[in-house]
Amino acid sequence: MPLDPSFVGRTYPPTAPYLVGREKIREFASAIGATDAAHHDPAAAQALGHPDVVAPPTFPVIVTMAASRQIIEDPALGVDYSRLVHGDQRFAYTRPVVAGDELVCTNTIEDVSTRGGHGFLTTRTDVSTVGGEPVVAVWARYVIRGEA
C-alpha cells in the first residue's frame, strides 16, 4: 500500500514526558565513545555553565525514535514497518539536553513522496521541555522499500 500524501502537514499530539537522567546520559555517552567530561561529570558540565551533565548531540534519538511510533504505527498512513529503512537524520539545537530535563515530542509529517517504486517519508520532531521551552528539532527520513 503506498503512503498517503494527504498526511503532509499532519501533527500528532505531544508525547508523554521523558525525564532525562544523569546515568542515561553517561550510558549513552559511553556507548558511542563520547569521552568529553561534560557528558560524565556534573562538575565539568557546571564549569561550562550547564546545570548538570550534557547529553551528546545524538542523544535525542532516544526520545524521538520512541515518539516516531505515533507516525509509523498510524494504519491510515500506510507504512509497512517490515520494509522501513532509516535513511537520514539531522538535528537543529536551541540548547543542549541536560540531565533533569523533562522532554516532550511533537511529531509532524513534512513530506511524503514516491520515487523508483519506494516510498519516502520525512518527519520533524520538535523536542521541548514540559514548560514549552524549545530544545531541539529532529528531522528523519525513512525509506519504505517497494515490492521486489
In a domain, 124, yes or no: yes
CATH number at 91 reads 3.10.129.10
Whether 67 maps to a domain, the answer reads yes
Secondary structure of residue 128 in the 3-state scheme: strand
Q: Could you report the per-residue pLDDT of 32-71, keeping only the tens digit for each?
A: 999 999 999 999 999 999 999 999 999 999 999 999 999 9
- Is residue 69 a part of any domain in this protein? yes
Angle CA 132–8–76, to nearest 5:
100
Domain count, the chain: 1
Structural domain harbouring 120: 5-21+56-144
| pLDDT tens digits, one per residue of 74-108 | 989 989 899 999 999 999 999 999 999 999 999 99
Distance (Å, rounded) from C-alpha 16 to C-alpha 75? 21
- Is-contact 136 127, C-beta < 8 A? yes
* 33 lies in some domain: no
What is the pTM assigned to this prediction? 0.92
